Amino acid sequence: MNIDWDNLGFDYMNLPYRFLAHWQDGQWDAGALTSNNMLTINESSPILHYGQGAFEGMKAYRTKSGQIQLFRPDRNAKRMQDSADKLLMPQVPTEMFLDAVKQVVAANHDYVPPYGTGATLYIRPILIGVGENIGVAPAKEYLFTVFAMPVGPYFKGGMVPTKFIVADAFDRAAHYGTGQAKVGGNYAASLQAGKYAHEHGYGDAIYLDPLEHKYIEEVGSANFFAITKDHKQLQTPKSPSILPSITKFSILDLARDRFGLEPVQTPIAISDLDQFSEAGACGTAAVITPIQSITYGDTVHTFGDGSTGEYTAKLYNELTGIQFGDVEAPAGWIVPVEV
Ligand SMILES: *Cc1c(COP(=O)(O)O)cnc(C)c1O
């Protein structure tokens, strides 16, 4: 093994082990680690045609003392259960989910990057409908697999404020559609908007609500947050088509409990950004990304002087401090992995 820990990006890597379990006749088998990174599935599998599948994204962190830990993995288990319900798939029980994740991390522990590099082990659980099934109906068989790969920090050498553009010609998800579920279809629907944003020199696209195109929904595949100019509130959008980000709920709690801000979930109008002194995007991959500016039609709204905001930096340090074990975590947020 010869990995340049300081220069990892976000790329697939074929690690020695992944977990694979099979659901059939109403139950999950025990599942097991396997070294085979190929799935063999029937050509009529519903995941291939009708998108019946969900995924999760989470990370394992190496602490200063060399331990390995997970950040709120029970929340990922719960969210995958909610996604399963939405797509009429069997749930993966929380214990089974956590056990699979721990097994994969422990079996590949050499690939959890060293403390201090900012790099982490990215973990990708997926649940897919497979088996013979050409009609539009839920699958009769499912696979649950968990694989992992080391990934670099989102920022190399400090936080970089990023410019975003409102993708007014595109919607990501509908209010009573699959916006709250972590499913591939939402990502397929986001590719055009992402391409548009990147081609115009922006970090990603900002989606507005699908009904009126007035309220902010998501920043690429991350949630949005903003701090009011009076430094009293941290606001995040409220909408039925936003993916419930675990990072978002965590910073709502940290804002209240550690920085004295009132956490508020409310519709945030794209025409009402003047009330904020700073804003950011948050998610497992994006961690906390400061938003420099938002372009909407002919207007460019810059937050403050465009540099990383005071509370954005504090929240980033607190969150990553907790994740890497340098800052005391709220009860239940950190789950150690025994190697
Ligand atoms: C996964 C995801 C997020 C971030 O969720 P976290 O739990 O914080 O990683 C935000 N938006 C979308 C669309 C996502 O798929």
Same domain for 248 and 281? yes
User: Ligand 1: distance of its center to the CA of 225 in Å?
Assistant: 13
Cα–ligand 1 centroid distance for 17 (angstroms): 25
Judgement on whether residues 46 and 129 belong to the same structural domain of the protein: yes
- Residue 98 tokens read as 């956590």
Strand partners, 165: 205, 295
The best mutation among 80, 219, 284, 315 to test binding of ligand 1, ranked by most ligand atoms within 8 Å of the C-beta, falls on 284
Of 151, 171, 197, which residue constitutes the final position of a domain? 151
CB 308, CB 290: distance < 8 Å: yes
In a domain, 11, yes or no: no
38 and 176 together in one domain: no
236 in ligand 1 pocket by Cβ < 6 Å?
A: no
Ligand 1, residue 284: give the atom nearest the CA. Answer: 9
Looking at the fold, whether 102 and 181 belong to one and the same domain comes out as no
| Encoded tokens for 263 | 């956490």
Ligand 1 atom nearest 172 alpha carbon: 13
Distance separating alpha carbons of residues 238 and 21, to the nearest angstrom: 36
Which pLDDT score is estimated for 233?
98
Residue 235 belongs to what domain range?
162-324
Quote the pLDDT of residue 157: 62
One domain for residues 45 and 74: yes
CATH number, residue 194:
3.20.10.10
* Residue 87 token pair: 């797509």
Residue 182 CB–ligand 1 contact under 6 Å: yes
Domain boundary among 151, 175, 210: 151
> Are residues 170 and 25 part of one domain?
no
- Do 334 and 71 contact (CB within 8 A), yes or no? yes
Per-residue model confidence as pLDDT tens for the chain (339 residues) = 789 999 999 999 999 999 999 999 999 999 999 999 999 999 999 999 999 999 999 999 999 999 999 999 999 999 999 999 999 999 999 999 999 999 999 999 999 999 999 999 999 999 999 999 999 999 999 999 999 999 998 766 668 999 999 999 999 999 999 999 999 999 999 999 999 999 999 999 999 999 999 999 999 999 999 999 999 999 999 999 999 999 999 999 999 999 999 999 999 999 999 999 999 999 999 899 999 999 999 999 999 999 999 999 999 999 999 999 999 999 999 999 999
The domain boundary, picked from 128, 151, 174, lies at: 151
Q: Is the pTM of this model over 0.95?
A: yes
Q: Decide: 223 in ligand 1 pocket, CB within 6 A.
A: yes
What is residue 2's predicted lDDT score, i.e. its pLDDT? Answer: 86
Cβ of 284 below 6 Å from ligand 1: yes
What pLDDT, on the 0 to 100 scale, is given for residue 159? 85
Which pLDDT belongs to residue 305?
95
What the block records as the tokens of 142 is 């499912």
Identify whether 182 is a catalytic site residue.
Answer: yes
201 in the same domain as 104? no
pLDDT of residue 156: 67
Do 28 and 136 reside in the same domain of the chain? yes
H helix or E strand, kind and range, residue 192: helix 191-199
Atom of ligand 1 nearest to the CA of 75: 7
CATH number for 106: 3.30.470.10
Helix (H, G, I), strand (E, B) or coil at 193: helix
- Nearest atom within ligand 1 for CA of residue 190: 13
Tell me which H or E stretch contains 246.
helix 246-259
- Ligand 1 binding pocket mutation candidate from 204, 221, 320 (most atoms within 8 A of CB): 221
Predicted confidence at residue 114, as pLDDT, reads 97
